[in-house]
Amino acid sequence: MQKKVVLIGGPGTGKTTVLQELRERQYTCMPEVSREVTLEAQKKGIEQLFLTDPLLFSKMLMEGRERQYIEAEKSNSNMVFFDRGLPDIHAYMDYTKDEYPDIFIKKSKQYPYDFVFLFKPWKLIYTSDNERYESFEQSEEIDQFLQNSYLKLGYKIIDVPFGSVDQRVNFILNRLKSEL
């Protein structure tokens, strides 16, 4: 049976870099959807869709992450890694204190993950860019909302220790081997 592994954490914590290394090691990986949603909006002249219309942005993320989940299930991979999961969406909405429909929680329950690995904010590697506008301090706040969202849904969260990309990937893979 396929195992779904989600990498969570605030902005700039190293999730995408670890996911790239997992992909290089021939694992099936689903990239972060928010960057493509943000870039698409920027092409239409909306600099930060999440700030302009957080509910629309979040609905677009929900559609993209749901599509990824279904695509993963259709693959014949034993294990699929996701750069963020559906519960991240309402975690961010809680962080910004924006209201959202119940469907966000329902979808998070409908599409569960088997393992949740948390990347804590790490000042040493944090950088901002065109799609990442949050400060390091905001990344720390978002981290708490992410943890709360996953814990409320009953997930066990596994903290990924700081270290090189190889060390972090090896930690995840070794932890998965010991749990399976």
The structural domains of the chain, with segments of one domain joined by +, span 3-179
Is pLDDT of 61 > 90?
A: no
d(CA 114, CA 133): 30
Q: Please give the mean pLDDT across all residues of the chain.
A: 90
Whether 156 shows a pLDDT value over 70: the answer reads yes
Fold exhibited by the domain 3-179: Rossmann fold (3.40.50)
Residue type, 178: S
Question: Which residues lie across from 6 on neighbouring strands?
Answer: 82, 116
Question: Residue 161's pLDDT band (boundaries 50, 70, 90)?
Answer: very high
**pLDDT score for 5:** 98
Query: For 20-38, what is the mean pLDDT?
Result: 90
Strand 157-160 relative to strand 115-119: parallel, antiparallel, unpaired?
A: parallel
> Does 109 have pLDDT greater than 70?
yes
Which residue, chain included where needed, has tokens 């301090």? 137
Q: Provide the whole-model pTM.
A: 0.90
Strongest mean pLDDT among 88-97, 120-129, 132-141, 164-173: 164-173
Confidence of residue 154 (pLDDT cuts 50, 70, 90): very high
Q: Give, in order, the Cα–Cα distances in Å from 87 to each of 12, 43, 93, 146.
A: 18, 27, 10, 8
